Structure 1
């Protein structure tokens, strides 16, 4: 534990906080879109797909922080800070957002932990996408009581979640991190 703290510097703490704040604003801005998509899908019985479709937006802070900072714990902190910002701005899920932030951040961390926090390339981000989807979908399965849905509905929701997380928590953060590295802004 002591070694973990030695690798963190003030600039790392500031950067993970900034990532959390910016992503928290994005999370909060996504709340009305989630409500709209839910309202559109409810008449056809597909309301749960609203969360699956937009899931990647709420899980992007963790992979982005991990790709930029390359420090264990950055994903968990960024997701938690983002969730806190969303909650404080009046997000629709209230304090439950903090629990979701911790779970989503844990999913992001787990993917990079599988590579020993050594691979910040497509292998690392792919592992993070898969673990984030599994952990978050598992949490939603319990929280939203998806156990009553049919098998194929669950499979479809998982695949939509996986695609959303790949696009918005895999491809987008990887692109942003690459742009930041090429700009030498973080040197």
Structure 2
């Protein structure tokens, strides 16, 4: 794997970031409704959706920095198109992207199975929860409630970011539009290995 980025990879990363910035903004409204109904824990059930671009970009491109960059760019675009949180959201996006990136780095950017993607989603859940604990005042809540919030966010990161991210990426791969990217190269190698 080379760390050098091709123009086509930069374009794919940027397109994914723009698309998911719009998705993130839409889910912000869904989260607000859920919090209105359930209290602070309402966000936790869907929190993993805000990590998904880091999983998809890294899984498709398989390059150091893809998770962090895609999440950061998505955060910047989300602010530019009108997220009410403002520039603080960019820091949150960077922290989320760093959580996923750390898991991919720990695998030396060589393992791309479902479990790694789910752990990457959970990595984002951990870093984002630590950040949220301090800026959102979780310390004022009952510790058992905060623990439950954390467990739900971990599960959401694993399922909505890791599992769903893999499923969406594999579906996109099946269309043939990703044939010139690392995901296709690695899948072809794996296929050839099974056939021989």
TM-score (norm 2): 0.86
Root-mean-square deviation (Å): 1.4
Q: Any gaps of 5 or more consecutive residues in structure 1?
A: 42-46
Selected match of 1:88 from 74, 80, 83: 80
Write the distance in 1 (CA, Å) between the matches of 2:34 and 2:111: 36
| Alignment gaps of 5+ in structure 2 | 180-196
How far has the Cα of 1:11 moved from its partner?
A: 0.4
Q: How many residues align?
A: 178
1:180 partner SS: helix
CA contact (8 A) 1:111 1:132 kept: no
Provide, for residues 122-172 of structure 1, a one-character-per-residue CA deviation record: whole Å limited to 9, x for no partner.
232132122111111111111112122222112110111112112210111
Give the TM-score taking structure 1 as reference length: 0.90
CA distance in 2, matches of 1:152, 1:114: 31
Q: Is the 8 A contact 2:75 2:93 kept in 1?
A: yes
Deviation at 1:56, TM superposition (A): 0.9
Q: What displacement does 1:182 show?
A: 2.4
Measured after TM superposition, the shift of residue 50 of structure 1 is 2.2
Does residue 86 of structure 2 align to residue 102 of structure 1?
no
Q: Distance in 2 between matches of 1:167 and 1:141?
A: 22
Question: How far 1:35 sits from its partner (Å)?
Answer: 1.6
Residue equivalent to 1:135: 127
Report the more deviating stretch, 57-66 or 176-185: 176-185
